[in-house]
Amino acid sequence: MADAASIFSAAGDGLIAVVKRDCPTCDLVGPVLAGLQASGAVTVYSQDDPTFPEAVKAVRDDRDLDASYRLNVEIVPTLVRVEGGREVDRTYGWDRAEWARVAGQPVGLDLPPTRPGCGAANVEPAANRLLRIRYGETGLNARRIDLGSAEDPIEAAFERGWSDGLPVTPPTEARVLAMLEGTSRAADEIVGIVPPNLDPCSVEKAAINAVMAGCKPEYFPVVLAALEAVLDPAFNIHGVLATTMYVGPVLIVNGPIAQRIGMNGKHNALGQGNRANLTIGRAVQLIVRNVGGGKPGGIDRAALGNPGKLSYCFCEDEAGSIWTPLATDFGFKAGDNVVTAFAGYGLQGVVDQKSREPESLARSMAASLKAINNVKAWPAADAILVVCPEHERTFKAAGWSKADLLARLTALTTGPADPLIQGEDGIAEGLGVGMRGKTVKKFRDGGLMLVRAGGGAGMFSGIIAGWSASGDRGSVPVAKPIRG
């Protein structure tokens, strides 16, 4: 592999040109290069075909793109003047006056005055990644683990504890570099400190786990924002891991980025089948596991766990909704790209196929909400009510806003403490006897949130119940803007 100095030395005092056949402007300047070669003034490198340009003799084969990379060629054709073993001038594309200045003689008098060049092959993303790896110029700092020639990378991830129980994509340097191209943030920027080991997580480490999770680079800004949300002290990821309650991060995305990267907020939004939904949530979980050490049976003490601890991520279906998106509850504007993290369980169904009036449907939903954690657990955890489009239409037809429904649900989940006292109805669970005669709420102020999602057919909404240590007792939902 040649470096720039050896390329300049081989060329001597004169010109170096870099071209490729797949470029009309390079074809245009072929006769110019032939004329310069006849005077002994130019060395020509071809990026894709050593027989091109046909009019030039002894074209140097640069299909490995080493010379182009070392010369920092970005556009072809590029013309470089070398004197005394160093570059003194260059131009690119075709500009007759510029070529004449760099060449030191009139050229291309029969050609058009100007023509734009083409992108050089060495700056195409896939090729550039491989070149950076070849020259050890990736800028990556993570320790590389070399596997034995007989080792299967996927099996090695299982054996070494890097997997969540499903196969992971091997995080090769090329894949990690591609993931990093999904963000403008520096690879060595620290996103946050990951419990329980309290290890710093850089953008690069996040990218490695995003690759393992199966993310595409365009998902990566969402992964980073979601990671910032769960690492916010207010979310308390350490507590979420350490509790024997089987909660985990639930991630909800708002804003146009959701549709841009192909997230699903409609049919089966909380289920399988959508790459963006599943891999974004999985990437965050893998970071907590692989960087922070939060593994089941270790600091993760969940009594049962739930499938959402693999990945629980979806977007709100904002199109056609009568309601403001969830992100606006946290001070953002409609249209902002935001991810909200919530410490939640799996999904509890709210099946109501008969209510056609908003009051009936609100009462049905409230009755279901009263049961989360335990019918006698008041106040309970925070909760997200995922309202399906058919149920939302019932409220829309009656002119109920999101605030109207929240206010009614709050009223319906507020009541006397007496039936909830320990021992009442033969249930030992419940409030202390000191609460007798008082009024209690099922949810703290701001603890009940509404999100619109789901398929257009089916009167089935759902409840994502939160960790009982919600609010100032342990964890609050955290929303973070999604940056590029």
**H, E, C per residue of the chain:** CCCHHHHHHHHCCEEEEEECCCCHHHHHCHHHHHHHHHCCCEEEEECCCCCCCCCCCCCEECCCCHHHHHCCCCEECEEEEEECCEEEEEEECEEHHHHHHHHCCCCCCCCCCEECCEECHHHCHHHHHHHHHHCCCCCCCCCCCCCCCCCCHHHHHHHCCCCCCCCCCCCCHHHHHHHHCCCCCCCCCEEEEECCCCEEEEHHHHHHHHHHHCCCHHHHHHHHHHHHHHHCCCCCHHHHHHCCCCCEEEEEEECCHHHHCCCCCCCCCCCCCCHHHHHHHHHHHHHHHHCCCCCECCCECCCCCCHHHCCCEEECCCCCCCCCCHHHHHCCCCCCCEEEEEEECCCEEEECCCCCCHHHHHHHHHHHHCCCCCCCCCCCCCEEEEECHHHHHHHHHCCCCHHHHHHHHHHHCEEECHHHECCHHHCCCCECHHHCCCEEECCCCCCEEEEECCCCCCCEEEEEEECCCEHHHCECCEEEECCC
| Residues 201 and 308 reside in one and the same domain | yes
| Residues 129 and 160 reside in one and the same domain | no
Query: Which among 226, 223, 252, 255 has a CA at the least distance from the CA of 336?
Result: 255
Residue 292 in domain? yes
CA angle, 70 as apex, 66 and 74 as ends, to 5°? 95
Buried b / exposed e across 364-373, counting CB within 10 Å, b at 16+?
bbbebbbebb
Q: Residue 126 belongs to what domain range?
A: 4-134
Query: Which among 462, 421, 468 has a CA at the least distance from the CA of 447?
Result: 468
Decide: 364 and 439 in contact? Cβ < 8 Å: no
Residue 479 in domain? no
Residue 340 in domain? no
For residue range 225-258, list pLDDT tens digits in order: 999 999 999 999 999 999 999 999 999 999 999 9
Decide: 462 and 391 in contact? Cβ < 8 Å: no
Decide: 65 and 82 in contact? Cβ < 8 Å: no
Decide: 448 and 383 in contact? Cβ < 8 Å: yes
Decide: 419 and 340 in contact? Cβ < 8 Å: no
For residue range 393-411, list pLDDT tens digits in order: 999 999 999 999 999 999 9
pLDDT at 96: 97
| Residues 228 and 125 reside in one and the same domain | no
Residue 332 in domain? no
| Residues 309 and 186 reside in one and the same domain | yes
| Residues 307 and 371 reside in one and the same domain | no
pLDDT at 2: 65
Q: Which of 301, 319, 337 is at the close of a domain?
A: 319
CA distance 230 to 475: 10
Residue 330 in domain? no
pLDDT at 379: 86
| Residues 375 and 260 reside in one and the same domain | no
pLDDT at 347: 96
| Residues 258 and 288 reside in one and the same domain | yes
| Residues 175 and 291 reside in one and the same domain | yes
Domain count, the chain: 3
Residue 34 in domain? yes
Mean pLDDT in consecutive groups of 10 residues from the start of the chain, 484 residues: 81 93 97 92 95 95 97 98 95 98 96 98 97 95 89 94 96 97 97 96 98 98 98 96 94 98 97 97 98 92 93 95 95 97 96 97 97 90 96 96 97 95 94 94 94 96 92 88 94
| Residues 52 and 179 reside in one and the same domain | no
Decide: 76 and 48 in contact? Cβ < 8 Å: no
pLDDT at 234: 96
pLDDT at 381: 86
Tell me how far CA of residue 75 lies from CA of 66, 205, 388, in angstroms: 15, 33, 52
| Residues 227 and 261 reside in one and the same domain | yes
Domain of 12, CATH number, reads: 3.40.30.10
Residue 217 in domain? yes
Residue 335 in domain? no
| Residues 119 and 228 reside in one and the same domain | no
| Residues 169 and 295 reside in one and the same domain | yes
Q: Which residues pair with 313 in a beta bridge?
A: 251
Those residues with Cβ within 8 angstroms of residue 420's Cβ, 6 or more apart along the chain or in another chain: 376, 378, 430, 431, 435, 440
pLDDT at 472: 74
Q: Which is it for strands 338-344 and 448-452: parallel, antiparallel or unpaired?
A: unpaired
Burial of 396 (0-12, 13-18, 19+ CB in 10 A): middle
